[in-house]
Every structure is written in C-alpha cells, then in structure tokens.
Chains A and B, each alone.
Chain A
Amino acid sequence: MNVRDIVERLSLEVKTAKGDLQREVRGCYISDLLSDVMANAREGELWITLQTHPNIIAVAVLKNLAGIIITNKRTPEEETLKKAGDEGVTIAVSQSPTFEVGGKLYTILQC
C-alpha cells in the first residue's frame, strides 16, 4: 500500500507537489504532540495530526515519515507547504475528523 493508494481511498487532497506518492506506507501514527511523534512514530508511517505549522515538516523529515495527513478541514500554513516542498514531504488534507480518517486507515492497513 503506497501513499497514492491511501490518498485515493480516503479521498484526501494532496497539497504538495514534490512528495513521493509511490512511497510504501508501513503504518500510521496519530498525535498532535510533536515530542510524542518524535518519541513514538516509526519510519515509513503516515502521521495524522491537526497541527498545521512548519515544525511538522522538521518532525516528518527527522523521523523519515511517509507523509502527513492534516484532518478536520484544516489548511497547512503557507510556510509549512514551502518547507514541505523543499524537503519533499507529502502533505494531504482531509475534510473528516481525525477519528474517521484514523479509523478508515486502520481498516485499510489491516487488509
């Protein structure tokens, strides 16, 4: 299962051009606390969060995450998208709340 498959199945909108949509997704981590993600997310996971500020890109790069899904109709800040472009991090947004996105993704990744 790669990022593109998940984008399609969850009807996400990709906000970045340079991320690797072919990248294999190894799991998912859900948290809005950045230190928690630093401590507990694993390489290759998608990260679901409400945070929209540029620091999420630094976290995704340092943890080598597969991408970031921002939920609940939130829009990433312009600076966040710029950094995502520079670093090649995929950001996708969802109109649904975190519970729904996480629940659907859990089901997809279990298959």
Chain B
Amino acid sequence: MSSGRAIEGSFHLTGGDFTNAGAASSELKSILTNLGISLAIVRRAAIATFEAEMNVIIHAVAGVMYYQVTADSIKVILNDMGPGIPDIGLAMQEGYSTAPDWIREMGWGAGMGLPNMKKNSDEFKVDSVVGEGTTVEIVIRIKEESP
C-alpha cells in the first residue's frame, strides 16, 4: 500500500438483524486480507470489529461501521442509535452485561464484548450519550506488530 493513501468505506448495521450479524466484519476482514495486512493484525481487527458489530445488533436500532486503512493503521468507528451506556467504566468490566436472557441463551451477553475489543486494539475509545447512542473507536497499528 502506498503511504498517505487511505482506503475507506462503511457498512450499515441494523439492530436486531441477527441473521446477517458478522457480515460487515467478515467483509472488512476480506478487505484487510486482500490488502496484504499480516494475519495476526487481521485477526485482531476481526475480533474487535465483530464484537463491536454484535453490540450494535444486540443493543441499538441501527448503526454505521466506518473504516479507514492507511499504511500505518486500521481505524474503525462504530456509531449507533441506541440506548447509550450510562456507566462506561462498569460496561468495560469483564462479565458485566445488560443483554436480555434470550440474547444470553444465544451465547452472547457474557460481558466480554467491550473487553475483547479493548484487548485487540492499540487505541480504544467509547463515547456515549444515554438515550442517543454510542460511538466506539478502534485503532490497530499495522507497523508495530504486537506479540
């Protein structure tokens, strides 16, 4: 990839659409793989974005996953129209979840989503306004490979 040139795009996400859940992250994974980004980096991006995509599908009405790939990093921003997160610190705790029982029966809602996103990102930010929505920003650096 030539430096300075960014590859970008976005996917629309529909809340409650469990049938297509993971489609955006899978597509982004293919894009990153085709760009020749190393497998370890692609794997981290896939985990972080899939968890973020699932959160939109589980909790929000709708959202957008925007991505920008440069020679240095992969940046993914998820913007949703959802209930918002009243206490982000609490939401970041492993095991804390507000997902309803039927979501838990599907094997989601274990309170691992946000921690998984953070673990697989080099920079991770969550901004939320209760009653309006949540923005998650994931940055994964390409050049400095993490172990």
The residues of A with any CB-CB pair to B shorter than 8 Å are 31-36, 38-39, 43, 49, 51, 53-55, 57-59, 61-63, 79
Q: Which residues of A contact B23 (CB under 8 A)?
A: 58
Contact yes or no, B112 A58, CB < 8 A: no
Contact yes or no, B112 A53, CB < 8 A: no
Q: Which residues of B contact A49 (CB under 8 A)?
A: 107
Contact yes or no, A39 B106, CB < 8 A: no
Contact yes or no, A33 B110, CB < 8 A: yes
A33, A43, A58: the one contacting B21 at CB < 8 Å is A58
Indicate if B108 sits at the interface (CB-CB under 8 A): yes
Given the known interface contacts A53-B106, A58-B25, the answer about A33 and B112 at a Cβ–Cβ threshold of 8 Å is yes
Q: Which residues of A contact B46 (CB under 8 A)?
A: 62-63
- A-B pair count, CB < 8 Å, reads 64
Size of B's binding interface in residues, CB under 8 A: 22
Q: Which residues of B contact A57 (CB under 8 A)?
A: 22
A38, A55, A61, A63: the one contacting B106 at CB < 8 Å is A55
Indicate if B119 sits at the interface (CB-CB under 8 A): yes
The residues of B with any CB-CB pair to A shorter than 8 Å are 18-19, 21-23, 25-26, 29, 43, 46-47, 50-51, 54, 106-108, 110, 112-113, 116, 119
Q: CA of A1 to CA of B112 in the docked complex: distance in angstroms?
A: 32
**Chain A proximity of B57: nearest CB distance (Å):** 9
Q: Which residues of A contact B21 (CB under 8 A)?
A: 54-55, 58
Q: CA of A32 to CA of B108 in the docked complex: distance in angstroms?
A: 9
Give 6 nearest A-B pairs by CB, closest first: A58-B22, A35-B112, A34-B107, A33-B110, A62-B46, A51-B107
